Structure 1
């Protein structure tokens, strides 16, 4: 679970959570944050896609028929064709509506087809990353000290490749992208299913919660509010193109005050502090229901 945040400098001071404000959730010691905000505690059920994946894994295991099967499994041998599920069982599995829907469903609604948007800083578009085309550029950004302090992916290109490849070859729950502004790549993004991510263990996730990770690549693009502009644009893209998503979430490192400030200025609210395996993070939430109320700040 990479960090969310390096170099999204908005040039403002982050707003501290009011301890009396019920929207600023606080985590239970050593566990999930206990929230008194009903917006963060409803619809706590496993997503249909995750249920289908569990069912697929369970039904695809060959049934044991006796002690010989136990011995074969302990020895690590591969089942023969005779031990595989019978044709009738395979046909039944193939016709399962839940598993078919999971196999055909795009977990992030075609990020690459969302198209460009016009912002106050120019025309911006998310372009899904490719290792053969983009590895050298992304690796160079990861070796910038301001980025490496939070992403921890400095090193040779192979380090970045090991971070990208599981996403590109996975089931589509995380899509790494270049952020292209007026035709020039200038930022790196990960759009991911927060409800299917390890992050979901640390906050009351809802089905289709969508997360954002971001870094601004070029020094020339930092420190002038561009992070706020792009976070607003990308979270709007998520809400516009993912109708089942009620919330966009992020978890910038609490130490990265420019990043936290950029999220606040982009219409996100501070929900809680959460202890993740690699950092203490600020859980930031942009609610579809509050989209018209928490308008992004354009004062930067």
Structure 2
């Protein structure tokens, strides 16, 4: 590894957001590093629980090619819990995505995808804490007004989390790889939902 590569890796490993959640632990967020993180993410997407990520059965090099393209126009992050990799976050501009064909994109919109690591042990409410941490991070950017998601219509678990966080269902949409639920959550809707959640 040359000095430029080392410098780039150091930048990618810098923590860009962190938060301690009482009774749960310490969460951190850093930029995705293709070389060091992809082998771990590849293991996740081959497991049954990650079927809605749409990469099960793909070869490693196929997934690598996908992420090499994604990093060009998507902000990808690795989430850490107590210093260990716990989730993947992808944030994208809806104006640069096929989703723009299904609704009127507004200034301040951002799209997101989340993949949580397979659990080592059961922590009650862990995924919900990750979800809140991510939305806290996204809305810490004052230019972001609304989060747009398009989960697979069959993914019941994420629908429950979305609703709990304040997302509002808009309509079903047909994307090339799935039938999805288009849902929005504004900053105000999120904060209102959090005030009323457990």
Shift of 1:213: 0.3
The structure 1 residue matched to 2:156, chosen from 249, 257, 270, is 257
Counterpart CA distance in 1 for 2:167 and 2:185 is 4
- Whether contact under 8 Å (2:88, 2:116) holds in the other structure is yes
Residues 1:281 and 2:177 are matched in the alignment:
no
Once the two structures are superposed, residues 92-125 of structure 1 have per-residue CA deviations (whole angstroms, 9 ceiling, x without a partner) of xxxxxxxxxxxxxxxxxx9x76321223532212
Counterpart CA distance in 2 for 1:179 and 1:247 is 21
Shift of 1:221: 6.1
- Whether contact under 8 Å (1:266, 1:297) holds in the other structure is no
Shift of 1:297: 5.6
Counterpart CA distance in 1 for 2:111 and 2:181 is 13
Counterpart in the other structure of 2:96:
196
Against the structure 1 CA distance between its residues 182 and 157, is the aligned structure 2 distance closer, same or farther, given a 3 Å change threshold?
same
Residues 1:164 and 2:70 are matched in the alignment:
no
- Richer in strand (by share): 2
The CA RMSD measured in Å over matched residues stands at 2.3
Give the count of matched residue pairs. 184
Partner SS state of residue 180, structure 2: strand
Partner SS state of residue 39, structure 2: helix
Counterpart CA distance in 1 for 2:100 and 2:15 is 26
Counterpart CA distance in 2 for 1:129 and 1:261 is 27
Stretches of structure 1 that go unaligned for 5 or more consecutive residues are 1-109
TM value normalised by structure 1: 0.56
Residues 1:225 and 2:125 are matched in the alignment:
yes
Stretches of structure 2 that go unaligned for 5 or more consecutive residues are 1-11
Counterpart CA distance in 1 for 2:16 and 2:77 is 12
Counterpart CA distance in 2 for 1:277 and 1:137 is 27
Relative contact order, higher structure (CA 8 A, sep 6+): 1
Counterpart in the other structure of 1:153:
55
Counterpart CA distance in 2 for 1:158 and 1:278 is 20
Counterpart in the other structure of 1:126:
29
The structure 2 residue matched to 1:209, chosen from 101, 109, 115, is 109
Shift of 1:250: 1.1
- Whether contact under 8 Å (2:17, 2:137) holds in the other structure is no
TM value normalised by structure 2: 0.82
Shift of 1:223: 8.4
Counterpart CA distance in 2 for 1:296 and 1:285 is 18
Counterpart in the other structure of 1:175:
75
Larger Rg: 1
